Amino acid sequence: MRSKLIILSSLLLCGSAQAAETATAPDTIEARTQGCSTCHGAHGEGNKDPYFPRIAGKPAGYLFNQLQNFRDGKRSYPPMNYLLAYLHDDYLTEFADYFSSQTLEEQTPFAHEPTLTTDGERLVKQGAAARGIPACILCHGRLLTGIEPGIPGLVGLNSRYIAAQLVSWRVGTRRAKTPDCMHEIALHLTEAEIGQVSKWLAAQMPPSPAVPAAPGSWKTPLACGSEP
């Protein structure tokens, strides 16, 4: 009797092992993007960590550009550089299209800093033309939700993430195709202004849903390499 039980147990174990070997993940874009969810949320909604931003609902062209830039070393962040090193453009296009199609119906602002001033709001809405700083709304849209196909939204992001990106543009660890307009703009911002702009943007309630403006609906004041 005992020998029969041993044989039966062995058969069951073998069957389980074979089933495990033949099991495969579903061939869907949702399954392939699960590797992104640890940092960016299940649907790209982001999380409270300052450096893992929302990617859901951003323009597909912008997301594709950034995936390319991480892969090709134009944007420096070692985990992303490593993950994307061997992925082809068609694969990156799938990722970009998927996350751009994800909509966030409800969001809350990230910032709770009591030190907000009118200086940040003035730069966002009016800029400082005499110093070569256009208003953020002139390039990122009236609602700051971005413009299709290549300009990202600025609301729904952590202030430290925004500040880090502005500094990266300024020092060249983040770059875009020529003309690299964000590099030129960031060069004219002081450290204090970067903090003021970042805090004000992070404190804004994103519209619901936060979708980018349609292509051709907005004329930007600068030629920018991220736009076709």
Tokens at residue 1, please? 């009797």
Q: DSSP letters of 118-185?
A: HHHHHHHHT-BGGGTB--HHHHH-TTSS-BTTTB---SSS-HHHHHHHHHHHHHTSB--SSS-HHHHH
Tell which wins on pLDDT, 103 or 228: 103
Tokens at residue 56, please? 């859901």
Residues 6 or more apart whose CB falls under 8 angstroms from that of 148 comprise 59, 60, 61, 212, 213, 214, 215
Three-state secondary structure call for residue 85:
coil
Q: Locate the domains of the chain by residue range.
A: 29-202
Going by CATH, does the domain composed of 29-202 fall within 1.10.760.10? Answer: yes
Q: How far is CA 227 from CA 59, 151, 154, 176, 211, in A?
A: 11, 7, 17, 10, 18
pLDDT of residue 106: 60
With a cut of 80, say whether residue 165 has pLDDT above it: yes
- Identify whether the C-beta of residue 228 lies closer than 8 Å to the C-beta of residue 148: no
For 116-151, write each residue's pLDDT tens digit: 678 999 999 999 999 999 999 999 999 999 999 899
Q: What is the pTM of this model?
A: 0.81
- Identify whether the C-beta of residue 136 lies closer than 8 Å to the C-beta of residue 120: no
DSSP class of residue 212 equals P
| C-alpha span between 103 and 105 (Å, rounded) | 6
Residues 6 or more apart whose CB falls under 8 angstroms from that of 123 comprise 133, 135, 136, 193, 196, 197
Kindly indicate the confidence band of residue 7, based on its pLDDT and cuts at 50, 70 and 90: very low
